[in-house]
Amino acid sequence: MKLKLALCLLIAQWSMFNGQWSMASAQTPVYLDPSKDIEARIDDALSRMTLSEKIAVIHAQSKFSSAGVKRLGMPDFWTDDGPHGVRPDVLWDEWEQAGQSNDSCVAFPALTCLAASWNPEAAQAYGHALGEEALYRGKSMILGPGINIYRTPLGGRNFEYMGEDPYLTSRMVVPYVQGLQSVGVASCVKHYCLNNDEEYRHNVNVIVSDRALHEIYLPGFEAAVKEGKAWGVMGAYNIYKDEHNCHNQYTLNKILKQDWGFDGVVVSDWGGAHDLDQAVKNGLDMEFGTWTNGLSEGASNAYDMYYLSKQYQKAIVEGKYTTKELDEKVRRVLRTFFRTTMNKQKPYGFLCSEEHYQTARLVAQQGIVLLQNEGNVLPIQPAGKKILVVGENAIKMMTVGGGSSSLKAQHEISPLQGLQNCQIVKSSNCQIDYARGYVGDVGGSYNGVTTGQNLKDDRSPEELIAEAVEKAKTADYVIIFGGLNKSNYQDCEGHDRKTMDLPYNQDKLITALAAVNKNTIYVNISGNAVSMPWRKQVPAIVQGWFLGSEAGTALASVLLGDTNPSGKLPFTWYESLDQCGAHSFGEAAFPGIWREGKKVIDEEYKEGIFVGYRWTDKQKLKPAFAFGHGLSYTTFKVSNLKAQNPVTTDGNMTFTIDVTNTGNIEGSDVVQLYITDVKCSVERPMKELKAFQKVTLKPGETQTVTLTTDRRALSFWDEATDDWKAEPGEFVAWAGNSSDRLTCKVKFTLK
C-alpha cells in the first residue's frame, strides 16, 4: 500500500515540459488529498490538466466508458445501464455481449412496481442494493432512475418510469438516488425532460405550456436534484423549443443549472448530441453514444469524431471558442470523479447476495396490486385443490429484452415455478396443471443474452384455447398469466404501443375460461395498462408488473395469501384510450404531426396540466381503476381528518388522520392526502396528491398518521412571474386510500 501511494505521488509530482523533466512540488498534490475540500481539489486538478486531457474526459472512449486522467492517477469512468439492475458488459465498440461469466446480476422489479409500493423506504433499499451490485462490477454511474411521466398507456418505456403523478414520483425518486449514491455510485436521472414517446424519439419537438412543464413534467427531476442531490442527469432524445434536450439552453442551462443549482454532470443519452455549437454552449458536459455502432460505422476513429472531441479541441485552438465552457464541463466531470472513482471511502460491493434478492422480493410483494376480488376468490385456499395455470407469461422469462434495461439475471423464477415451489402447495395435496393458452413471442434474446427457453408451439389459437377450456372445466381455480412482454410495440424501448388491447388472442382466451370456471383469476404482467373488455366476467384481477428475479416467488406469495397485497396504482387505468387526455385532441397531441419539409414532429401537449386522474376528474370520467387504487385481503377505514393549523400564513400545514384495520388479518394500506384550491385565478385540477404514508396494522388496530405539506403544495406555476404562486383563500384537504375513495375532508385557509 505504501509503495502504491509513493508511486502515485511520484507520478503526480513530476511534469514534462518541452521534453524536459522537472521536479514539481514535494508536497502531496491537493487533488490527491481526500482531506481537502472537494472544490479545492477540483481547482488543483484542473490547473494541472492539458487541453487534450480536458477534452478526453468529456466524451466516451468506448460504449460505456470515458477516459480518466492517467498521468494524474485518475482512473477511467465506467457507466452502465439500469435502472432495474446492472446491465451485462458489452464489447468495447459493439452492443453485443462481451461473453463474460461474472456479469450476471439480481434483476430488481421494474420502476412501475417500485412506484406502486408507495413506500419510500423500499426505494432507498432498492437504490442501495443496486449500488452495491454496481460497485462489485466496477461501475461508477448507473444510468437511472427513469422518471418520465406516464402521459399515455401507449408509451413504450412506461415500465421503466414511476407513473403519472409528479408528487408520487418525487417522493420515490429521492430515496432511490440517495440509496444508490450512499455507496459511492452516481445516479444519472433520466430522461430529462418531456421524453414521453419512443417512436421517432429523436424527431419529436414537444410543445407544452410553461405551467404544465413545471407542474407535471419537472417536479421529479427537481426533487432528485434539490433533495436527492443527484450527481448526474441524462439529457433526453427529444426536442423542446427546437433544441435537442441533450444540449438545450432553456432546460439545461437555465432550469437545471441556474434555477435548481445542479452541480453534477449532464450526460447525453447515447446518440443524443447533434450539434457542436449547442453541445459546447447549451449545458452538455459528457457526450456518449454518437455514432452508436462505435468503430464499425462512421469514421474509423469514431470516438475522436464526437462533437466534444477533436473537432471541439480544434475549434478552441483556432480561437472559435475559449476554454470557458470547456473548464466548466471539466469541473463537473472532476466533481463526479471525486465523488466516485476517486472516493477512497466508498465500501466494497456485493453481487447477487441474499440481501439483494430479499430486497427484490420485498419490493415486488409490496408493489403487486390487487385490482379486483369479487367474492373473495383470493387468496387461494390450495388444500386438496386443483389449480390450472394458463398463459405464456406464466413461463416466459421477462428480464431479457425491452431495450437498454435488458439484464442477464443470475436466476429468474417464473410464476409457474413460484407456485410449484411454494411450501403450502407442496404440503397441502394441491395439484398444479398447465396449459399454454396462447403463443406470443417465442424468442428470448437481446444483444447476445439468451434465456435458453424454447417456447415454440405450432398449435393454432383455437387448439390452444380448446385445451385450456377443457382443463379449466375440472379445475378448482384457473390462474391466467397474460398481458404484455418486452417485444417491439409492447413494453419496449424504441417503439410505442399501437393499441391498448391485449395481443395474441388473449381476450378470447380469458372470456372462454371465465365462462367455464367461476374461480378465474387474471394476472396481468406488464408495465402498462391494458383494455379489459371481459373485466366484469373475471372475479379476481391482479397487476403483476415485470418483477425481476423473484417474480414467481412474489406472485405466489400474494396469490396464496402468504403476503397481503398492499400495492397501489401509480397511474390511472383507463377503460379505453378515449379516457386519456393525450388522446382527446387528435393527432396533433399524440403522436404529433411532421413539420412540412423538416425532419421534425411537432407534438402539442394540449391536455396541459390535466394528466391522468386530473383529466378524468375534469371530464367526470370513471376509469377502470383509479390512480392510487389497490385492494387488500383485509379492510381499512380512514377517518377523523384534522388540520392542526386550519389557518396558515406561510402555507405549511399539518394533518392527522386515523387509519384502522377493520378486517381479520394484518395488512398495509396507503393513506393518501389530496388538496383542492376552492377558488383560484387560474384553472386548477379538482384535487392533487400532496402527501401519503404507508402503514401496517394488525386486526382492529388504529394508527394516527401525521402528514405535512408546505406552501408548494398549495401553489401553481404562475406564467406571468415565472415562479410558484399560492393565492390566499380557502382550500380543502381530502383523505382516503385511493383517488376515487376519499372518505373524509377538512377545510383550511391560507391568509
Closest CA to 334 of 47, 63, 14, 4: 47
406: its cell numbers: 435488458
Rounded Cα distance, 219 and 216, in Å: 7
Question: Quick one: which of 486, 55, 555, 463 has its CA closest to 285?
Answer: 55
> For cell 397441502, what's the residue?
428
Grid-cell match 404562486, residue found: 725
Catalytic residue (choose from 269, 285, 491, 669) = 269
Q: Is 498 exposed, middle or buried (0-12, 13-18, 19+ CB in 10 A)?
A: exposed
* Cβ contacts of 203 within 8 Å, gap of 6 or more: 239, 599, 600, 601
Q: How do 141-143 and 65-66 pair as beta strands?
A: unpaired
Tell me the one-letter amino acid at 82. G
Q: How many helices (H) and strands (E) does the chain have?
A: 18, 31
Q: Which three cell numbers stand for residue 63?
A: 460504449
C-alpha cell at 348: 466494497
Q: Does the annotation mark 269 as catalytic? A: yes
Q: Report whether 674 contacts 734 (CB < 8 A).
A: yes
C-alpha cell at 533: 373488455
Helix (H, G, I), strand (E, B) or coil at 693: strand
Q: Give backbone dihedrals phi and psi of 431, rounded to 5 degrees, phi first.
A: -105, 135
Query: What are the Cα distances from residue 307, in Å, to 188, 272, 279?
Result: 21, 11, 7
Residue 145 preceded by cis peptide, ω within 30: yes
Residues whose CB is less than 8 angstroms from the CB of residue 617 and which lie 6 or more positions away in sequence, other chains included? 685, 686, 687
CA distances 119 to 169, 218, 356, Å, are: 11, 21, 17
d(CA 63, CA 152) in angstroms, rounded, equals 31
40-46-51 Cα angle (round to 5):
175
DSSP letters of 17-65?
Answer: ETTEEEE--SSPPGGG-TTS-HHHHHHHHHHH--HHHHHHTTBBSSSSE
Phi, psi of 743 (to 5 degrees): -90, -5
Catalytic residue numbers read 269
